[in-house]
Structure 1
Amino acid sequence: MKFSQRLVAELKPIWEANHHHPFVQELSEGTLDVEKFKFYMIQDYIYLVDYAKLFALGAIKATDLSVEGKFAELLSETLNTEMSLHRSYAKEFGIKEDELENAHPTPVTLSYTNYMLSVGKSGGLDKVLVALLPCMWSYNQIGHLLVDTPASNHPLYANWVEMYSDNDYTDLTNWTINLLDEITTGKSDEELKELTEIFKNTTMYEYLFWDMAYNHRDWPEIK
Protein backbone atom coordinates (compact mmCIF):
# COMPACT_ATOMS: atom_id res chain seq x y z
CA MET A 1 0.00 0.00 0.00
CA LYS A 2 1.31 3.43 -0.93
CA PHE A 3 1.96 5.80 1.95
CA SER A 4 -0.73 8.24 0.78
CA GLN A 5 -3.30 5.41 0.77
CA ARG A 6 -2.15 4.33 4.20
CA LEU A 7 -2.59 7.87 5.53
CA VAL A 8 -6.20 8.15 4.40
CA ALA A 9 -7.00 4.62 5.61
CA GLU A 10 -5.53 5.20 9.08
CA LEU A 11 -7.00 8.67 9.49
CA LYS A 12 -10.36 8.03 7.81
CA PRO A 13 -12.60 9.41 10.61
CA ILE A 14 -10.65 12.68 10.80
CA TRP A 15 -10.29 12.94 7.03
CA GLU A 16 -14.01 12.46 6.39
CA ALA A 17 -14.97 14.82 9.21
CA ASN A 18 -13.51 17.68 7.13
CA HIS A 19 -15.69 16.73 4.19
CA HIS A 20 -18.83 16.70 6.32
CA HIS A 21 -18.28 19.75 8.51
CA PRO A 22 -21.41 21.98 8.67
CA PHE A 23 -19.50 24.73 6.82
CA VAL A 24 -18.86 22.39 3.88
CA GLN A 25 -22.34 20.86 4.02
CA GLU A 26 -24.11 24.22 3.97
CA LEU A 27 -21.73 25.44 1.28
CA SER A 28 -22.71 22.44 -0.87
CA GLU A 29 -26.40 23.20 -0.33
CA GLY A 30 -25.91 26.87 -1.17
CA THR A 31 -27.34 27.85 2.22
CA LEU A 32 -24.14 28.91 3.98
CA ASP A 33 -24.41 32.33 5.62
CA VAL A 34 -22.42 34.74 3.46
CA GLU A 35 -20.93 36.38 6.57
CA LYS A 36 -19.38 33.03 7.52
CA PHE A 37 -17.86 32.69 4.08
CA LYS A 38 -16.51 36.26 4.26
CA PHE A 39 -14.88 35.47 7.60
CA TYR A 40 -13.37 32.37 5.98
CA MET A 41 -12.16 34.31 2.92
CA ILE A 42 -10.26 36.84 5.01
CA GLN A 43 -8.59 34.18 7.13
CA ASP A 44 -7.84 32.07 4.07
CA TYR A 45 -6.01 35.04 2.54
CA ILE A 46 -3.83 35.34 5.63
CA TYR A 47 -3.28 31.58 5.55
CA LEU A 48 -2.19 31.61 1.89
CA VAL A 49 0.58 34.11 2.61
CA ASP A 50 2.29 31.58 4.88
CA TYR A 51 1.18 28.54 2.88
CA ALA A 52 3.19 29.90 -0.06
CA LYS A 53 6.30 29.80 2.13
CA LEU A 54 5.97 26.01 2.26
CA PHE A 55 6.53 25.96 -1.50
CA ALA A 56 9.69 28.00 -0.94
CA LEU A 57 10.81 25.44 1.63
CA GLY A 58 10.00 22.68 -0.87
CA ALA A 59 12.30 24.30 -3.42
CA ILE A 60 15.06 24.64 -0.83
CA LYS A 61 14.80 21.05 0.35
CA ALA A 62 14.32 19.40 -3.06
CA THR A 63 17.25 17.27 -4.25
CA ASP A 64 15.95 16.96 -7.81
CA LEU A 65 16.17 19.97 -10.14
CA SER A 66 12.76 19.37 -11.74
CA VAL A 67 11.11 19.14 -8.30
CA GLU A 68 12.90 22.31 -7.20
CA GLY A 69 11.63 24.05 -10.33
CA LYS A 70 8.08 22.86 -9.72
CA PHE A 71 8.04 24.26 -6.20
CA ALA A 72 9.51 27.54 -7.44
CA GLU A 73 6.72 27.66 -10.03
CA LEU A 74 4.10 26.96 -7.35
CA LEU A 75 5.50 29.73 -5.15
CA SER A 76 5.31 32.24 -8.00
CA GLU A 77 1.84 31.06 -9.06
CA THR A 78 0.51 31.38 -5.51
CA LEU A 79 1.94 34.83 -4.83
CA ASN A 80 1.39 36.39 -8.24
CA THR A 81 -1.74 34.70 -9.54
CA GLU A 82 -3.73 32.94 -6.83
CA MET A 83 -3.44 35.83 -4.36
CA SER A 84 -4.59 38.24 -7.07
CA LEU A 85 -7.56 36.00 -7.89
CA HIS A 86 -8.35 35.80 -4.18
CA ARG A 87 -8.43 39.61 -3.96
CA SER A 88 -10.72 39.82 -7.00
CA TYR A 89 -13.02 37.14 -5.62
CA ALA A 90 -13.15 38.88 -2.24
CA LYS A 91 -14.49 42.02 -3.95
CA GLU A 92 -17.59 40.05 -4.97
CA PHE A 93 -18.34 39.76 -1.24
CA GLY A 94 -17.70 43.44 -0.58
CA ILE A 95 -14.31 42.75 1.02
CA LYS A 96 -11.89 45.55 0.18
CA GLU A 97 -8.22 44.90 -0.51
CA ASP A 98 -7.04 46.88 2.51
CA GLU A 99 -9.36 44.79 4.68
CA LEU A 100 -7.49 41.69 3.53
CA GLU A 101 -4.07 43.24 3.93
CA ASN A 102 -4.76 44.65 7.41
CA ALA A 103 -6.65 41.66 8.83
CA HIS A 104 -5.21 39.83 11.83
CA PRO A 105 -5.01 36.04 12.07
CA THR A 106 -7.34 34.28 14.48
CA PRO A 107 -5.79 31.95 17.07
CA VAL A 108 -6.51 28.95 14.81
CA THR A 109 -4.99 30.56 11.71
CA LEU A 110 -1.91 31.68 13.62
CA SER A 111 -1.42 28.30 15.26
CA TYR A 112 -1.99 26.38 12.02
CA THR A 113 0.43 28.40 9.89
CA ASN A 114 3.09 28.46 12.60
CA TYR A 115 2.82 24.69 12.97
CA MET A 116 3.15 24.07 9.23
CA LEU A 117 6.17 26.33 8.90
CA SER A 118 7.82 24.91 12.00
CA VAL A 119 7.43 21.37 10.69
CA GLY A 120 8.55 22.37 7.20
CA LYS A 121 11.74 23.94 8.53
CA SER A 122 12.53 21.04 10.87
CA GLY A 123 13.11 18.24 8.37
CA GLY A 124 13.35 17.25 4.74
CA LEU A 125 10.99 17.48 1.81
CA ASP A 126 8.85 14.67 3.24
CA LYS A 127 7.86 16.86 6.19
CA VAL A 128 7.08 19.80 3.92
CA LEU A 129 4.76 17.58 1.90
CA VAL A 130 2.79 16.12 4.81
CA ALA A 131 2.44 19.63 6.24
CA LEU A 132 0.97 21.15 3.08
CA LEU A 133 -0.88 18.18 1.56
CA PRO A 134 -3.98 17.92 3.82
CA CYS A 135 -5.13 21.39 2.72
CA MET A 136 -4.49 20.82 -0.98
CA TRP A 137 -5.82 17.28 -1.08
CA SER A 138 -8.96 17.81 1.00
CA TYR A 139 -9.87 20.98 -0.94
CA ASN A 140 -9.55 19.10 -4.22
CA GLN A 141 -11.75 16.28 -2.95
CA ILE A 142 -14.32 18.70 -1.54
CA GLY A 143 -14.28 20.65 -4.79
CA HIS A 144 -15.14 17.50 -6.73
CA LEU A 145 -17.84 16.54 -4.23
CA LEU A 146 -19.50 19.93 -4.71
CA VAL A 147 -19.51 19.90 -8.52
CA ASP A 148 -23.03 18.46 -8.77
CA THR A 149 -24.51 20.38 -5.82
CA PRO A 150 -26.35 23.72 -5.61
CA ALA A 151 -23.03 25.35 -4.70
CA SER A 152 -21.79 24.90 -8.27
CA ASN A 153 -24.57 27.19 -9.50
CA HIS A 154 -24.54 29.63 -6.59
CA PRO A 155 -23.90 33.25 -7.66
CA LEU A 156 -21.12 33.61 -5.07
CA TYR A 157 -19.89 30.11 -4.27
CA ALA A 158 -19.66 28.64 -7.80
CA ASN A 159 -16.22 30.17 -8.38
CA TRP A 160 -14.87 28.49 -5.25
CA VAL A 161 -16.12 25.09 -6.42
CA GLU A 162 -14.67 25.60 -9.88
CA MET A 163 -11.31 26.69 -8.50
CA TYR A 164 -10.75 23.58 -6.40
CA SER A 165 -12.26 21.04 -8.78
CA ASP A 166 -10.60 22.13 -12.00
CA ASN A 167 -8.16 19.94 -13.89
CA ASP A 168 -5.05 22.03 -13.16
CA TYR A 169 -5.64 21.92 -9.41
CA THR A 170 -6.37 18.18 -9.59
CA ASP A 171 -3.13 17.62 -11.53
CA LEU A 172 -1.19 19.61 -8.93
CA THR A 173 -2.75 17.60 -6.11
CA ASN A 174 -1.93 14.30 -7.80
CA TRP A 175 1.64 15.44 -8.48
CA THR A 176 2.12 16.25 -4.79
CA ILE A 177 0.61 12.94 -3.66
CA ASN A 178 2.80 10.99 -6.08
CA LEU A 179 5.90 12.87 -4.94
CA LEU A 180 5.13 11.99 -1.32
CA ASP A 181 4.71 8.31 -2.24
CA GLU A 182 7.97 8.39 -4.16
CA ILE A 183 10.13 9.91 -1.44
CA THR A 184 8.64 7.83 1.38
CA THR A 185 9.31 4.51 -0.36
CA GLY A 186 11.71 2.50 1.78
CA LYS A 187 11.41 4.67 4.88
CA SER A 188 11.30 2.92 8.24
CA ASP A 189 8.11 2.44 10.24
CA GLU A 190 9.40 4.96 12.76
CA GLU A 191 9.91 7.60 10.09
CA LEU A 192 6.48 6.94 8.59
CA LYS A 193 4.91 7.13 12.03
CA GLU A 194 6.33 10.63 12.53
CA LEU A 195 5.08 11.74 9.11
CA THR A 196 1.65 10.27 9.83
CA GLU A 197 1.44 12.29 13.04
CA ILE A 198 2.23 15.51 11.16
CA PHE A 199 -0.37 14.71 8.49
CA LYS A 200 -2.89 13.96 11.24
CA ASN A 201 -2.18 17.28 12.96
CA THR A 202 -2.54 19.35 9.80
CA THR A 203 -5.73 17.47 8.91
CA MET A 204 -7.09 18.33 12.35
CA TYR A 205 -6.12 21.95 11.77
CA GLU A 206 -8.15 21.85 8.56
CA TYR A 207 -11.18 20.84 10.62
CA LEU A 208 -10.47 23.60 13.12
CA PHE A 209 -10.21 26.11 10.27
CA TRP A 210 -13.69 25.22 8.98
CA ASP A 211 -14.98 25.33 12.55
CA MET A 212 -13.39 28.69 13.21
CA ALA A 213 -15.03 30.20 10.11
CA TYR A 214 -18.41 28.62 10.79
CA ASN A 215 -18.53 29.88 14.38
CA HIS A 216 -16.65 33.17 13.88
CA ARG A 217 -14.02 32.17 16.44
CA ASP A 218 -11.65 35.08 16.89
CA TRP A 219 -9.60 36.46 19.76
CA PRO A 220 -11.68 37.28 22.85
CA GLU A 221 -12.43 40.93 23.48
CA ILE A 222 -10.70 41.84 26.72
CA LYS A 223 -11.53 45.19 28.24
Structure 2
Amino acid sequence: MHGSAKIANSETRAFSEEAWTLIAPVRKAIEDLPLLEELANGSLSKDVFLNYIQQDALYLKEYARALAIVASKAPDSAQMMRFLESSQRALQVEHGLHSGFLESFGLSFQDLESATASPSGFAYVNFIMATVQSSSYAIGLSAILPCFWIYYDVGERMKAMPKVAGNPYQAWIDTYGDENFADGARAVIALTDAAAASASPAERQKMLDVFRRASQYEWMFWQTASELESWRV
Protein backbone atom coordinates (compact mmCIF):
# COMPACT_ATOMS: atom_id res chain seq x y z
CA MET A 1 0.00 0.00 0.00
CA HIS A 2 1.27 3.46 -0.87
CA GLY A 3 2.50 5.21 2.26
CA SER A 4 0.33 8.27 1.64
CA ALA A 5 -2.86 6.27 1.50
CA LYS A 6 -2.80 3.98 4.51
CA ILE A 7 -6.02 3.20 6.33
CA ALA A 8 -6.13 4.10 9.99
CA ASN A 9 -8.33 1.26 11.28
CA SER A 10 -6.26 -1.93 11.09
CA GLU A 11 -9.27 -4.08 11.99
CA THR A 12 -11.05 -3.33 8.69
CA ARG A 13 -8.12 -3.36 6.30
CA ALA A 14 -8.32 -6.87 4.89
CA PHE A 15 -10.21 -6.09 1.70
CA SER A 16 -8.54 -2.74 1.04
CA GLU A 17 -5.07 -4.20 1.54
CA GLU A 18 -5.79 -7.08 -0.83
CA ALA A 19 -7.38 -4.80 -3.41
CA TRP A 20 -4.60 -2.20 -3.25
CA THR A 21 -1.96 -4.92 -3.66
CA LEU A 22 -3.93 -6.46 -6.53
CA ILE A 23 -3.71 -3.26 -8.57
CA ALA A 24 -0.02 -2.59 -7.89
CA PRO A 25 0.84 -2.85 -11.62
CA VAL A 26 -1.98 -0.43 -12.45
CA ARG A 27 -0.84 2.03 -9.78
CA LYS A 28 2.70 1.88 -11.15
CA ALA A 29 1.40 2.59 -14.66
CA ILE A 30 -0.55 5.58 -13.33
CA GLU A 31 2.47 6.89 -11.44
CA ASP A 32 4.48 6.73 -14.67
CA LEU A 33 1.97 8.69 -16.74
CA PRO A 34 3.62 11.73 -18.38
CA LEU A 35 0.29 13.56 -18.04
CA LEU A 36 0.51 13.60 -14.24
CA GLU A 37 4.16 14.68 -14.17
CA GLU A 38 3.39 17.45 -16.63
CA LEU A 39 0.40 18.56 -14.55
CA ALA A 40 2.67 18.80 -11.53
CA ASN A 41 5.33 20.90 -13.25
CA GLY A 42 2.91 22.95 -15.34
CA SER A 43 4.28 21.83 -18.70
CA LEU A 44 1.20 19.91 -19.86
CA SER A 45 -0.12 20.94 -23.25
CA LYS A 46 -3.25 23.07 -22.96
CA ASP A 47 -4.89 21.03 -25.72
CA VAL A 48 -4.33 17.85 -23.72
CA PHE A 49 -5.57 19.43 -20.51
CA LEU A 50 -8.70 20.83 -22.13
CA ASN A 51 -9.41 17.42 -23.62
CA TYR A 52 -8.99 15.89 -20.17
CA ILE A 53 -11.30 18.52 -18.61
CA GLN A 54 -13.97 17.88 -21.23
CA GLN A 55 -13.78 14.14 -20.71
CA ASP A 56 -13.74 14.58 -16.94
CA ALA A 57 -16.87 16.73 -17.02
CA LEU A 58 -18.72 14.06 -19.01
CA TYR A 59 -17.45 11.39 -16.63
CA LEU A 60 -18.40 13.24 -13.44
CA LYS A 61 -22.01 13.68 -14.55
CA GLU A 62 -22.42 9.93 -14.92
CA TYR A 63 -20.33 9.20 -11.84
CA ALA A 64 -22.69 11.41 -9.82
CA ARG A 65 -25.59 9.29 -11.05
CA ALA A 66 -23.73 6.13 -10.07
CA LEU A 67 -23.12 7.50 -6.57
CA ALA A 68 -26.84 8.23 -6.23
CA ILE A 69 -27.64 4.64 -7.21
CA VAL A 70 -25.17 3.35 -4.63
CA ALA A 71 -26.86 5.60 -2.07
CA SER A 72 -30.23 4.04 -2.89
CA LYS A 73 -28.83 0.60 -2.00
CA ALA A 74 -27.13 1.67 1.24
CA PRO A 75 -28.13 -0.34 4.33
CA ASP A 76 -28.65 2.70 6.57
CA SER A 77 -29.42 6.41 6.38
CA ALA A 78 -25.89 7.50 7.33
CA GLN A 79 -24.37 5.66 4.37
CA MET A 80 -27.18 6.85 2.13
CA MET A 81 -26.42 10.46 3.07
CA ARG A 82 -22.70 9.88 2.55
CA PHE A 83 -23.17 8.95 -1.10
CA LEU A 84 -25.89 11.46 -1.84
CA GLU A 85 -23.52 14.16 -0.59
CA SER A 86 -20.70 12.65 -2.66
CA SER A 87 -22.94 12.75 -5.72
CA GLN A 88 -23.61 16.42 -5.12
CA ARG A 89 -19.90 17.16 -4.61
CA ALA A 90 -19.04 15.45 -7.90
CA LEU A 91 -21.32 17.89 -9.70
CA GLN A 92 -19.88 20.80 -7.70
CA VAL A 93 -16.38 19.84 -8.80
CA GLU A 94 -17.55 19.69 -12.38
CA HIS A 95 -19.00 23.21 -12.21
CA GLY A 96 -16.55 24.80 -9.78
CA LEU A 97 -13.14 23.47 -10.75
CA HIS A 98 -13.90 23.22 -14.45
CA SER A 99 -15.45 26.68 -14.74
CA GLY A 100 -12.24 28.29 -13.50
CA PHE A 101 -10.16 26.47 -16.09
CA LEU A 102 -12.68 27.15 -18.83
CA GLU A 103 -12.59 30.85 -18.11
CA SER A 104 -8.80 31.00 -18.11
CA PHE A 105 -8.59 29.06 -21.38
CA GLY A 106 -11.39 30.93 -23.13
CA LEU A 107 -13.96 28.14 -23.25
CA SER A 108 -17.58 27.94 -22.07
CA PHE A 109 -19.84 25.31 -20.54
CA GLN A 110 -21.43 25.04 -23.97
CA ASP A 111 -18.07 23.71 -25.17
CA LEU A 112 -18.28 21.03 -22.49
CA GLU A 113 -21.86 20.20 -23.35
CA SER A 114 -20.97 19.72 -27.00
CA ALA A 115 -18.08 17.37 -26.24
CA THR A 116 -18.33 13.66 -27.07
CA ALA A 117 -17.16 11.01 -24.65
CA SER A 118 -14.02 9.25 -25.79
CA PRO A 119 -14.19 5.48 -26.35
CA SER A 120 -12.38 4.85 -23.06
CA GLY A 121 -14.45 7.36 -21.11
CA PHE A 122 -17.66 5.94 -22.58
CA ALA A 123 -16.62 2.41 -21.68
CA TYR A 124 -15.62 3.40 -18.14
CA VAL A 125 -18.86 5.16 -17.20
CA ASN A 126 -20.93 2.39 -18.73
CA PHE A 127 -18.98 -0.21 -16.76
CA ILE A 128 -19.62 1.68 -13.53
CA MET A 129 -23.29 2.27 -14.27
CA ALA A 130 -23.94 -1.34 -15.28
CA THR A 131 -22.19 -2.56 -12.14
CA VAL A 132 -23.96 -0.32 -9.63
CA GLN A 133 -27.34 -0.93 -11.24
CA SER A 134 -27.14 -4.70 -11.44
CA SER A 135 -25.03 -5.60 -8.41
CA SER A 136 -25.16 -5.52 -4.62
CA TYR A 137 -24.24 -2.52 -2.52
CA ALA A 138 -20.86 -4.07 -1.69
CA ILE A 139 -19.97 -4.70 -5.33
CA GLY A 140 -21.20 -1.24 -6.26
CA LEU A 141 -18.85 0.23 -3.68
CA SER A 142 -15.92 -1.59 -5.25
CA ALA A 143 -16.82 -0.06 -8.63
CA ILE A 144 -16.86 3.54 -7.41
CA LEU A 145 -13.93 3.19 -4.98
CA PRO A 146 -11.01 3.39 -7.45
CA CYS A 147 -12.00 6.91 -8.53
CA PHE A 148 -11.94 8.08 -4.90
CA TRP A 149 -8.82 6.18 -3.88
CA ILE A 150 -6.59 6.65 -6.92
CA TYR A 151 -7.30 10.38 -7.12
CA TYR A 152 -6.61 10.61 -3.39
CA ASP A 153 -3.31 8.78 -3.81
CA VAL A 154 -2.30 10.85 -6.83
CA GLY A 155 -3.29 14.05 -5.03
CA GLU A 156 -1.20 13.17 -1.99
CA ARG A 157 1.89 12.47 -4.08
CA MET A 158 1.50 15.58 -6.20
CA LYS A 159 0.85 17.73 -3.14
CA ALA A 160 4.18 16.57 -1.74
CA MET A 161 6.05 17.77 -4.83
CA PRO A 162 7.58 21.25 -4.87
CA LYS A 163 5.13 23.84 -6.14
CA VAL A 164 6.00 25.43 -9.45
CA ALA A 165 5.40 29.17 -9.54
CA GLY A 166 2.73 30.10 -12.04
CA ASN A 167 1.61 26.51 -12.64
CA PRO A 168 -1.70 26.95 -14.52
CA TYR A 169 -2.87 23.59 -13.18
CA GLN A 170 -2.24 24.22 -9.47
CA ALA A 171 -5.98 24.44 -8.74
CA TRP A 172 -6.37 20.87 -10.01
CA ILE A 173 -3.57 19.68 -7.71
CA ASP A 174 -5.05 21.58 -4.76
CA THR A 175 -8.50 20.04 -5.31
CA TYR A 176 -7.31 16.44 -5.12
CA GLY A 177 -4.64 17.13 -2.53
CA ASP A 178 -7.18 18.75 -0.20
CA GLU A 179 -7.68 17.14 3.21
CA ASN A 180 -11.46 17.16 2.79
CA PHE A 181 -11.10 15.06 -0.34
CA ALA A 182 -8.72 12.75 1.52
CA ASP A 183 -11.21 12.35 4.37
CA GLY A 184 -13.95 11.44 1.90
CA ALA A 185 -11.78 8.85 0.18
CA ARG A 186 -10.77 7.27 3.48
CA ALA A 187 -14.43 7.08 4.51
CA VAL A 188 -15.37 5.22 1.32
CA ILE A 189 -12.45 2.83 1.78
CA ALA A 190 -13.65 2.09 5.31
CA LEU A 191 -17.24 1.54 4.15
CA THR A 192 -16.05 -0.84 1.45
CA ASP A 193 -13.99 -2.77 3.99
CA ALA A 194 -17.03 -3.05 6.25
CA ALA A 195 -19.21 -4.29 3.38
CA ALA A 196 -16.56 -6.82 2.35
CA ALA A 197 -16.34 -8.16 5.89
CA SER A 198 -19.89 -9.49 5.66
CA ALA A 199 -19.76 -10.51 1.99
CA SER A 200 -19.76 -14.12 0.85
CA PRO A 201 -16.51 -15.48 -0.66
CA ALA A 202 -18.05 -15.26 -4.14
CA GLU A 203 -19.22 -11.69 -3.61
CA ARG A 204 -15.84 -10.68 -2.19
CA GLN A 205 -14.09 -12.11 -5.25
CA LYS A 206 -16.48 -10.18 -7.48
CA MET A 207 -15.63 -7.03 -5.51
CA LEU A 208 -11.93 -7.59 -6.19
CA ASP A 209 -12.57 -8.23 -9.89
CA VAL A 210 -14.66 -5.07 -10.20
CA PHE A 211 -12.14 -2.99 -8.25
CA ARG A 212 -9.33 -4.11 -10.56
CA ARG A 213 -11.30 -3.45 -13.73
CA ALA A 214 -12.38 0.03 -12.60
CA SER A 215 -8.75 0.78 -11.69
CA GLN A 216 -7.64 -0.27 -15.17
CA TYR A 217 -10.23 2.10 -16.60
CA GLU A 218 -8.77 4.89 -14.44
CA TRP A 219 -5.41 4.39 -16.13
CA MET A 220 -7.04 4.20 -19.55
CA PHE A 221 -8.97 7.41 -18.92
CA TRP A 222 -5.82 9.42 -18.23
CA GLN A 223 -3.67 7.72 -20.85
CA THR A 224 -6.17 8.22 -23.64
CA ALA A 225 -6.86 11.80 -22.62
CA SER A 226 -3.21 12.57 -23.29
CA GLU A 227 -3.52 10.82 -26.66
CA LEU A 228 -6.58 12.95 -27.58
CA GLU A 229 -8.41 9.69 -28.18
CA SER A 230 -11.43 9.91 -30.49
CA TRP A 231 -13.76 7.56 -32.31
CA ARG A 232 -12.03 6.19 -35.39
CA VAL A 233 -15.16 5.82 -37.45
Q: How does 1:40-51 map to 2 (within 5 A)?
A: 40-51=52-63
How far has the Cα of 1:92 moved from its partner? Answer: 1.8
Give the RMSD, CA atoms, in angstroms.
Answer: 1.6
1:58–1:128: 8 Å Cα contact kept in structure 2? yes
1:168-210 deviations in whole A, cap 9, x for unaligned? 1000000000000011104233222111111111111111111
- Aligned pair 1:114/2:122, yes or no? no
- Residue identity in the other structure for 2:21: A
Match 1:133 to one of 145, 156, 174? 145
2:158–2:173: 8 Å Cα contact kept in structure 1? yes
Match 2:116 to one of 101, 104, 120? 104
How far has the Cα of 1:136 moved from its partner? Answer: 1.4
Equivalent in the alignment of 2:136: 124
Match 1:82 to one of 76, 93, 101? 93
Work out the CA distance in 2 between the residues paired with 1:87 and 1:23: 21
- Residue identity in the other structure for 1:147: K
1:108–1:208: 8 Å Cα contact kept in structure 2? yes
1:56-80 deviations in whole A, cap 9, x for unaligned? 112110011111112122222333x
- Residue identity in the other structure for 1:143: G
Report the count of equivalent residues.
220
Equivalent in the alignment of 1:213: 225
Equivalent in the alignment of 2:43: 31
- Aligned pair 1:192/2:204, yes or no? yes
How far has the Cα of 1:133 moved from its partner? Answer: 1.1
1:144-191 deviations in whole A, cap 9, x for unaligned? 111133566443110000000101100000000000001110423322
1:27–1:151: 8 Å Cα contact kept in structure 2? no
1:46–1:105: 8 Å Cα contact kept in structure 2? yes
Work out the CA distance in 1 between the residues paired with 2:161 and 2:47: 21
Work out the CA distance in 1 between the residues paired with 2:215 and 2:155: 16
1:103-123 deviations in whole A, cap 9, x for unaligned? 111111111101100001111
Alignment partner of 1:92: what SS? helix
2:64–2:90: 8 Å Cα contact kept in structure 1? yes
Structure 2 gaps of 5+ residues are 1-12
- Residue identity in the other structure for 2:147: C
Match 1:168 to one of 174, 180, 189? 180
Per the normalisation by structure 2, the TM-score is 0.89
Work out the CA distance in 2 between the residues paired with 1:210 and 1:170: 20
Work out the CA distance in 1 between the residues paired with 2:150 and 2:162: 20
Per the normalisation by structure 1, the TM-score is 0.92
